[in-house]
Homo-oligomer: A and B are copies of this chain.
Amino acid sequence: MKWEQAWLDYKPLASYQSRDYFTKLTVRARGKCIDTAVTELTKACKEILNIEIEAVDEYASEGILLTVQETDELGEEGYKIAEKLGLITVSGSGEVGVLYGVFELIKQVKLGNALKDIKISTKPDNPIRILNHWDNMDGSIERGYSGDSFFFEDDTIIVNDRTVDYARLVASIGINAVVINNVNVRHAAKYLVDQRYYEGLGAIGDIFAGYGIDLYISLNFAAPISVGGLSTADPLDEKVSEWWKNQLARLHDAVPNLKGFLVKADSEGEPGPFTYNRDHADGANMLARAVKSFGGKIIWRCFVYNCQQDWRDLKTDRARAGYDNFLPLDGKFDDNVTLQIKNGPMDFQVREPVSPLIGAMPKTNQILEVQIAQEYTGQQKHICYLIPMFKEILGFRTYCHESQDTVADVISGRTYNQRQVGIAAVVNTGNDANWTGHDFAAANLYGFGRLAWNMSLTSEAIANEWSRMTFNGSDIVTENVTDILMKSWPAYEKYTSPLGIGWMVNPSHHFGPNVDGYEYDRWGTYHRATFETIGVDRTPNGTGYTTQYNEPNAGMYEELTSCPEELLLFFHKVPYIHQLSTGKTVIQHIYDTHFEGVEEVASMIESWDEVEEHIDSVVHDRVKQRMQFQMAHAKEWRDVVNTYFYRKTGIVDAQKRLIHS
C-alpha cells in the first residue's frame, strides 16, 4: 500500500531567496538523532531545493552548522536557530534538540521564508508529549477511523518504511513518546512483554530512538496470570512483583528504547488491583518499582468508573468517579508514576467541563489526556478541528494554587515543579494513504504536536501553519482552510449535542444521532429529558459533582446565573423555557443551533469549492466527498434532535422552520 507524507510532503520550490545557505553543512555533534537530522536536512534540500548537500566536520564560517550546546535555558530538548554573517547555526541543548531545530529549519524553507537574521529559541512546554495508539495486534484499531494499524497485523509487529515515515511525521511536530498498543490489552497484546516480540519491539524502538521518540507499550495488569502462569496478579504478592521485575528487565535489555508503560486498570472490564482489595497506588507503585532500575516510567490512566450504573439512580454520577477514586491517593504514588487524566470527567464529548482532578493532587505527576481520534466528534467523516477545544482546556484556571494554576501550568510542571508530566493524545492515524482518513483530520495531529510543544500558540496560527505546510500556500487556500477549520468545532457542537449535555449518539460505535441512545443504559450517561425539563443536576442538590471544584469554580458552576451556558445542561436540570443570556429559551436555542450548524457546514463546503483550482484534484475530491457526507449527516443530526425535542415538548419553533413531527 502506498502512503503520502502529509505535512512533510516536499515539493520543489521554483525560486528561493535563502537557497545559498544550503550549499554547505557542518556537523559538530554525534548521535543517532544527529544522524537523523543530517538525513532529514539532506532529503529536504534535495527535494525542495534540488541541492545535494553534504555534511562536513570543519570550521564553519557559512552555510548551516548543527551543534549541541547544553544550556539550562533550553532544557533537555530545546534548540536555537540563528543566522549571522551567512552562517545559520542550529544548536540543540541535546541531540534531539538539533533534530527538532532541523525540522523547524526545513519548515521555514518549505514555507519559503527568508532566513536572513532568523532567530528562534524554543523549548517544549511539556516534558512528556505522548501519542496513545489504540491499535490491537490483529490489526484493528479501537476507535480507529483511518484504516487498520500500521504497527500490527495478524498478531505480528510490522516494521517497514512506513514505521520510519511515521516517526518522521510525529518527531517533526515534537512528539517524544508513543504508546503503540491499545490500553485495552487483550489477546496477543498481553504477550508484548514476552520474548516472542523482542525482535519486533526492538526494531520499532531503534527507529523511534533515531527520532527522539521513547517507545511505550500498554500492559495488562493480569499478565502475571495469563502470561506468567502465576495464580494471582496481586500487586502486594512478592511472586507477582518479582515476575514483573524480571519480565520487564529482560524486556528492557532486549529493547533499550522501551521507556515506559501505560496501564488502564479496573475500568470497563480491564483487570486491576481492586480484584485483590488493593488500591491504584499499590498497583502503580509495584510496577514503578519493577522498572525503576532502568529509569522506566509508569503512566496510570484515571479513566475508572462504575460501568454498571442504573439510570434510575439520581445520585451516582460517573462524572465524580475520577476525583473520588484518585484524590485520596495523593502523595502515595512513586516518583516514576504519572496519572493520565482525560480532559473532562466523562469521555471526550464535544463539550465537557475540565476534570476537577487536574491540579488537585499536588504531590502526584499528572498528564492531560485528549483525544484526536474523533470518536464522538465525527469520526473523521466530519471536520472537527479540536485545537480550539484544547486551548480552552489548557487555559482553564483550576484555582489549585495561588499562581500558575491553569491546566497548562499543571501539566507542564510549572505549578508543582514536576518533571514527569505532560500531555497525551489518543491518536487518529491508521494505514489509510493520507494517515488520518479525512485529510483535514491531520490538522488535529499536527496541531496537537505543535500545541504540546508550545501551549501559547493560537488555534488560528496552528491552522494557518498546517494549511501552508499541507496545501499550496496561496493566500486564498490558507485563508479558506483556516476558516473551515475554525468554524468546524462550533458547527459540530451546534448540530449535535446542545449545551453540554452530551451522549446523544448511537451506543457502541458512537456515530450518528440517537438522543435516547445512552439514556437508559448502564454507563452513567443521562440527559434526563422530560416533557418539561432537561439536564443533570450536578449541584449539591443533585449529585454534588460541582463541589469537586475549587472556589470560585464550584460556586460558578453551582449557580444557574453564573454557570457558563455552553455547560448549562451538564450542571443543571432546567425547564425548556428557561431563558438564556441571548434572550432565547433553551428549546429555541436547541432548534436555532441545529439549523445554524447545518448552514455552517454549507459555508465550509463553499469555502472548499472556492479553492478547488489550487488543490490537487485527488485530495480535493477526497475531502469533498467527506464534506458532502458531513452535510447529509449534519441534516440527519439536526432533524433527529429537533424532532425528538419537538415531539417531547410540543413547543413549536418560533421561526416556523420545518421540524418533522
Contacts and interface: CB of A to CB of B under 8 A. Distances in A.
Interface of A: 311-312, 506-507, 513-516, 520, 529-532, 639-640, 643-644, 646-650, 660-661
Contacts of A515: 516
6 contacts: A312-B660, A515-B516, A516-B516, A516-B644, A520-B640, A648-B648
A449 to B, nearest CB: 38
Given A506-B507, A516-B516, A531 B647 contact: yes
A532 B514 CA distance: 21
Given A312-B639, A312-B660, A639-B312, A649 B514 contact: no
Most buried by B among A312, A515, A646: A312
A530 B640 CA distance: 13
Given A514-B520, A520-B513, A640-B520, A531 B312 contact: no
Contact of A647 (B529, B640, B643, B660): B529
A537 B530 CA distance: 25
Contacts of A311: 660
Contacts of A639: 312
Contacts of A507: 506
Ordered nearest first, which 4 A-B pairs have the shortest CB separation?
Answer: A530-B647, A531-B650, A516-B516, A520-B640
A245 to B, nearest CB: 41
A650 B506 contact: no
B532 A650 contact: yes
A126 to B, nearest CB: 41
Nearest to A640: B520
A639 to B, nearest CB: 6
A649 to B, nearest CB: 6
A643 B519 CA distance: 11
Contacts of A648: 530-531, 647-648
A311 B513 CA distance: 13
A644 B529 CA distance: 10
A644 B312 CA distance: 12
A520 B643 CA distance: 10
B650 A530 contact: yes
A529 B643 CA distance: 11
Contacts of A312: 639, 660
A164 to B, nearest CB: 37
A526 B506 CA distance: 17
A227 to B, nearest CB: 27
A661 B513 CA distance: 23
A650 B515 CA distance: 19
A429 B646 CA distance: 45
Nearest to A658: B312
A660 B520 CA distance: 11
Nearest to A534: B647
Nearest to A649: B531
A514 B311 CA distance: 13
A537 B168 CA distance: 61
A308 to B, nearest CB: 13
Contact of A516 (B514, B531, B532, B650): B514
Contacts of A646: 530
Nearest to A661: B530
Contacts of A513: 520
Contacts of A661: 530
A134 to B, nearest CB: 22
A277 B23 CA distance: 68
Contacts of A649: 531
A661 B532 CA distance: 11
Nearest to A507: B506
Given A311-B660, A312-B639, 7 more contacts: A312-B660, A516-B516, A516-B644, A530-B647, A530-B648, A531-B647, A531-B648
